[in-house]
């Protein structure tokens, strides 16, 4: 089987959310053993139970710096002493127009989407360097390349994550560790289901394939980048957007 992750371990943040749960399912489906993390401990435990298998739930509030720094060591212990794959998927939005955006709205998005990802990468680099193998994958967004009105904070966090990934990729490449991003476009979600037909039609008109993507599309992309077969790909952003943007 190509992209077989049997014997590999992974930590996935934001795992009980829409995209995160599909990423976790994809990795588990390819044979990886997971530590799934999220801020809602009840929802996370229920998801972990549904996932079946020998996976572990590790609740974490990514606003809490000490909790973030403890997460990777906890995962390494829970997963039997190694961490092969880190997926930075957790993210928040605090949308507002530039002139109305409060400092707190900017700071909160940067704290979760960028700074927490940095701290997790830093922590994960140690066990990965020791093993001389690792896969660091961060979920960004098409808007990190295109921009989006009302999301200066979110766009800055995602563009920053792409740039940071390139730096990390260069630092860790000689140790067998790759660092890449997956950038979703418009995906079907609870949020997009609330859109009316006119709004949906306007979005679909911008997508050459004529359809929104699904969580399974993102899970498949992450599973590929996590695989041994993707070892010669690093510092890249894999755009999964139906052709909506072609950077």
Catalytic residue from among 47, 106, 154, 224? 154
Instruction: Choose among 26, 231, 35, 3: nearest CA to 134.
Output: 231
- Contact between residue 173 and residue 230 where contact means Cβ atoms under 8 Å apart: no
Which residues make Cβ contacts (< 8 Å) with residue 189, sequence separation at least 6?
Answer: 18, 19
Cβ atoms of 67 and 60 closer than 8 Å:
yes
Q: Any catalytic annotation for residue 154?
A: yes
180 Cβ neighbours under 8 A, 6+ residues apart: 136, 137, 138, 165, 169, 225, 230, 233, 234, 235, 236, 237, 238
In whole angstroms, give the CA distance from residue 133 to residue 82.
Answer: 10
* Residues written for the chain: 247
Catalytic residue list: 154
């Amino acid at each position: 089987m190509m992209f077989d992750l049997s014997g590999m371990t992974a930590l996935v943040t934001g795992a009980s959310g829409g995209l995160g749960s599909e990423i976790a399912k994809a990795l588990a489906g390819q044979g990886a053993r997971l530590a799934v993390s999220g801020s809602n401990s009840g929802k996370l435990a229920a998801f972990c139970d549904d996932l079946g298998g020998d996976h572990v739930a590790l609740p974490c509030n990514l606003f809490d710096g000490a909790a973030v720094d403890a997460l990777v060591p906890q995962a390494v212990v829970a997963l039997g002493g190694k961490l092969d794959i880190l997926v930075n998927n957790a993210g928040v939005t605090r949308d507002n127009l530039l002139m109305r955006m409060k400092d707190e709205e900017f700071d909160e998005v940067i704290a979760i989407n960028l700074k927490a990802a940095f701290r997790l990468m830093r922590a994960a680099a140690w066990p990965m360097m020791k093993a001389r193998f690792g896969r660091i994958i961060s979920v960004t967004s098409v808007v990190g390349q295109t921009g989006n009105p009302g999301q200066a904070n979110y766009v800055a966090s995602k563009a920053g994550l792409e740039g940071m990934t390139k730096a990390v990729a260069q630092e860790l490449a000689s140790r067998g560790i790759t660092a890449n991003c997956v950038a979703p476009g418009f995906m079907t979600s609870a949020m997009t289901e609330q859109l009316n037909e006119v709004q949906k039609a306007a979005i679909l008109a911008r997508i050459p394939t004529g359809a929104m993507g699904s969580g399974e599309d993102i899970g498949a992309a992450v599973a590929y980048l996590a695989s041994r077969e993707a070892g010669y790909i690093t510092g890249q952003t894999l755009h999964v957007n139906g052709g909506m943007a072609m950077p």
